Structure 1
Amino acid sequence: MDRLGTAAAVAGGLLLLWVALLLLVWRSRSLAPREALRLLPDLVRLVRRLAADRSLPRGVRIRLWLLLVYLVSPLDLVPDVIPLLGHADDVVLVAWTLRSVTRRAGTEALARHWPGEPAGLALVSRLAGLPAAGTPPG
């Protein structure tokens, strides 16, 4: 019983942390739902292009392929039928993944593979908590 209680406490804590992160993403209003819908095709192409780029480290490419699998999978941490929060988990995972990929590959890789408009790339960089691609941090 002690292990079960500990496992339940850990799972509950992780769930609360996840919900808090989802609420922060939507509360910050860093990405309006309409903007997210416009960016979606470019984001999918960006992730696929980065994942196929053999000049990037293997671990980075694996992370990107796992993200793509998660995004197309019908199973989500937060079901998509829940208004707003249903898609927020996808936004959080994309932001985290792009941030970690950019730390290893550099913002230049994002800029090189971005298929859309420069304003969209600036928005994606902001969403991932990065300096605008192609500009030095600071």
Structure 2
Amino acid sequence: LAQSIDFQDRFARALRHQIQRESQRLEAGLALMASIGSISPFIGLFGTVWGIMEALQSISQAGSASLETVAGPVGSALLATGIGIAVAVPAELGYTYFLRRVKNAVARLDNFAHDFYNVVQKNGFSLTPATQLASQS
């Protein structure tokens, strides 16, 4: 199979595969960071709902809706939302920052591969530079 594929095609394919491998390696932790950024507000919201349910149970047990009965559980519920947002914002900012850096790195790899392919093509896909071949003739 290796002999049936043109060397130029094999060379271009090897460059593409290496760029894909590097891209995957660079993107390794980004999925976790994106997940944390998108899920944490929902976890905070769940904590808020849970806290409000506790507040309603406290009201029903106390038999009154005084400020003292409601304030503690509702405050705790809102704290859960605040923590969820406090986790989500840095995670999303970090994800965006690192994703941009990965895209820039992959673009630089693509540019290098294109330039390298052109140099190798100019040398006739030979291991010996074209200038040395001309001087040997």
Q: TM-score, normalised by structure 1?
A: 0.27
| Structure whose alpha-carbon radius of gyration is higher | 2
Q: TM-score, normalised by structure 2?
A: 0.27
Q: Which has the higher contact order (CA 8 A, sep 6+)?
A: 2
